[in-house]
Amino acid sequence: MSDSEHDAASRSRRDVDREQLKRTTDDLLMPAVYGQQDLVLDRGEGVRLWDVDGNEFLDAVAGIAVVNTGHSHPRVVEAIQEQAANYVQSSYYFYHEPMADLLQTLADRSPGALKNTFFGNSGAEAVEGGIKLAKKATGKSEFISLRGSFHGRTPGAMALTGQNKYTHTFNPHMPGCYKIPSPNYYRYGDRFADEEEFGKWAAEQVHEVIKYDSNDDVAAVVVEPIQGEGGIVVPPKNYLPYLKEICEQEDILFFADEVQTGMGRTGKLFAVEHWDVDPDIMTLAKGIASGVPFGLFMGTEEVSETMAPADHYTTYGGSPIACAAANATFDVIDEEGLVENAATVGDEALDRFEELKEDHQLVGDARGKGLHLGLELVEDRETKAPAEEGAKAVRAAAHERGLLVSRCGTHGNVLRLTPPLSITSDEMEEMLDRLDAAFDDVEAAT
């Protein structure tokens, strides 16, 4: 769509009664949905969004780390439109080219010996499938995951999630799910000599669970390479390699949840590649199809061949439109160098984060990899008391300055920046200028 066509479409949309639209949504949408900001969307392009009033925003949310190629990338839009004009749905009943192409790409590009894929509709659904695969492949039924983790809101995924705020009202959960400490050195590493000692201790808690808590029936350790909802927690360098080694010692599977970190988000196509760790099972969703609902889980051939026909299925599996969008997403990521761009611009952002930390006492820690970035806000740097209200205030002030950010962390005190991977250095600088000003606004009001 040309700029003039965009302008015409926007003008026509601005006639909408935005307040009535919001009232209708608030009245009729199930109240489980929360956190909506006062913004009625009109259109998006690249790293920018516009509301129906014509206000422009820099988007550091990207649909919660979903639109990695940028909003409405022309190549992805064209692929969706072309596929929709041919056929929309096939289920797994028939072969089709978009699915075969994507299966081959995933087999060629995924880490280690991952080979076989099952397609579904979301990250949580992918985790549920991974749970079934781990059980079938091992004949075991227990799982170890991390405190502070987030794996989804469906029953099995929720049982793995290590944050009570998402799970406590839905007890009892799937039995046999045990939690080990988060590898969050900023929060829990004070009594250790260094990050390496802490990382070793945190991984060794798998041995402790198996020895004291489990029924010696652990199928897999499930881990986000970098915790997302838990606060953009980058583990110590030795943590994931040592965790993988322990899994091999204990004869249990290493299950990497790459729903939020995959597809170039961290400056590698898959986050586990930062540590040269090869998963036995891996999940993907979010950025895989640039916004089209899609999720998948993969396994090595040895693991996958244990699944028999009808052990798992879904009506929308291998959706032609989702597969077409995912194929186009891979093409854009490769042709535009988005993985490399995420690494470069992310490093620039981390440098600027250190300046923000120097200038604003609210910032206790600055961290991330690639464009998976977080600022943890604290009321006091000595006590590290979480500043949840401060995070809310900065996010609101950023919104007023035309910057959209989200909050995460077990205490809701981490500002999360996950912009499209197509963001330029200049756009990131503009984004962080607005964030800096938002901190100033909050500090001036207190």
Burial pattern 206-215, b for ≥16 Cβ within 10 A else e, equals beebbeeebe
pLDDT at site 12: 45
| Contacts of residue 402, Cβ cutoff 8 Å, sequence gap at least 6 | 55, 56, 57, 58, 434
Three-state SS for 50? strand
- Pairing, β 218-223 against β 142-146: parallel
81 contacts 56 by C-beta, under 8 angstroms: no
Question: HEC string of 98-154?
Answer: HHHHHHHHHHHHCCCCEEEEEEECCHHHHHHHHHHHHHHHHCCCEEEEECCCCCCCC
DSSP state of 175: S
| Contacts of residue 77, Cβ cutoff 8 Å, sequence gap at least 6 | none
Cα–Cα separations (whole angstroms), residue 321 to 103, 168, 382: 14, 36, 51
Beta carbons within 10 angstroms of residue 345's beta carbon: 24
CA distance 428 to 433: 8
How distant is the alpha carbon of residue 288 from its chain centre?
11
pLDDT at site 4: 47
Angle at 292 between CA 56 and CA 265, to 5 degrees: 70
pLDDT at site 11: 45
CA distance 248 to 230: 26
pLDDT at site 166: 87
Largest Cα span, the chain:
67
pLDDT at site 201: 98
pLDDT (tens digit, 0 to 9) for every residue of the chain, 446 residues total?
445 455 544 444 557 888 999 999 999 999 988 777 889 999 999 999 999 999 999 999 999 999 999 999 999 999 999 999 999 999 899 999 999 999 999 999 999 999 999 999 999 999 999 999 999 999 999 999 999 999 999 999 999 999 988 888 888 899 999 999 999 999 999 999 999 999 999 999 999 999 999 999 999 999 999 999 999 999 999 999 999 999 999 999 999 999 999 999 999 999 999 999 999 999 999 999 999 999 999 999 999 999 999 999 999 999 999 999 999 999 999 999 999 999 999 999 999 999 999 999 999 999 999 999 999 999 999 999 999 999 999 999 999 999 999 999 999 999 999 999 999 999 999 999 999 999 999 999 98
Taken in order of first residue, the domains within the chain and their CATH numbers are: 3-69+337-445 (3.90.1150.10), 76-335 (3.40.640.10)
pTM of the predicted model, to two decimals?
0.95
Nearest to 342 by CA among 378, 404, 295, 350: 350
Which amino acid type is present at position 122? S
263 contacts 288 by C-beta, under 8 angstroms: yes
Beta carbons within 10 angstroms of residue 190's beta carbon: 9
Cα–Cα separations (whole angstroms), residue 50 to 9, 245, 369: 12, 48, 28
CA distance 309 to 313: 9
